[in-house]
């Protein structure tokens, strides 16, 4: 949706094709929205989320349409999480909790770790980490992010 100024919303995105399937040991869902269809090439973003027993979360983002576009995505981490680059992704830790994040794509993407702002309450701003990815080129494109629980060695 187009948001401008405080509490002002212009063109509104609508959900499309929302599906949820429960399994014995997990959940699969998918949905898209109409928020970018007014742009040249009528881009359509669809996200699929798959959660399975064992602590693995897979998020697939697909952007279809035509023409050249800049596509960005990423993850804003809650306060208290630390991030360390590792082979093929990142290791996210908070106390004894550890999650490995890998990001892959069918097109060449760039990934980055930046500071971002989190607003836990009105007028309150905290600096947190944001893991992002970016693509500039022809559509369609897809990105897959896999979050997997890890056990940290005592030496960390």
Helix segments in 11-143, DSSP class H: none
**What pLDDT shows up at residue 25?**
85
**What pLDDT shows up at residue 1?**
83
Does the pTM exceed 0.85? Answer: yes
**What pLDDT shows up at residue 153?**
59
Backbone conformation region of residue 67, classed left if phi is above 0, alpha if psi is from -120 to 50, else beta: left
**What pLDDT shows up at residue 144?**
97
**What pLDDT shows up at residue 6?**
72
Residue 52's φ and ψ, nearest 5 degrees, are -125, 155
**What pLDDT shows up at residue 115?**
95
Quote the CA–CA distance of 73 and 56 in Å, as a whole number: 20
Cβ neighbours, 10 Å, residue 32: 21
Identify which of 100, 104, 105 has the alpha carbon closest to the alpha carbon of residue 57.
Answer: 100
Is the CA virtual torsion 121, 125, 126, 127 positive or negative?
positive
34, 16 in Cβ contact below 8 A? yes
Quote the CA–CA distance of 68 and 66 in Å, as a whole number: 7
Q: Which parts of the chain sit beneath pLDDT 70?
A: 152-156
Residue 145's φ and ψ, nearest 5 degrees, are -115, 125
Start-to-end CA span in the chain (Å)? 42
**What pLDDT shows up at residue 110?**
95
Identify which of 155, 147, 143 has the alpha carbon closest to the alpha carbon of residue 45.
Answer: 143
């Amino acid at each position: 949706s187009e948001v401008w100024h405080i509490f002002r919303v212009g063109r509104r995105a609508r959900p499309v094709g929302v599906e949820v399937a429960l399994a014995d040991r997990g959940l699969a869902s998918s949905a898209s929205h109409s928020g970018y269809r007014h742009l040249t090439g009528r881009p359509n973003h669809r996200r699929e989320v798959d959660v399975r027993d064992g602590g693995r979360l897979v998020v697939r983002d697909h952007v279809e349409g035509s023409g050249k576009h800049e596509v960005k995505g990423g993850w804003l981490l809650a306060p208290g999480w630390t991030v360390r680059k590792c082979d093929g992704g990142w290791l996210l830790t908070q106390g004894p909790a550890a999650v490995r994040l890998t990001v892959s794509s069918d097109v060449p993407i760039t990934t980055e770790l930046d500071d971002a702002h989190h607003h836990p309450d009105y007028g309150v701003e905290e600096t947190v980490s944001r893991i992002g990815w970016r693509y500039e080129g022809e559509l369609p494109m897809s990105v897959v992010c896999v979050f997997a629980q890890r056990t940290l060695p005592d030496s960390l």
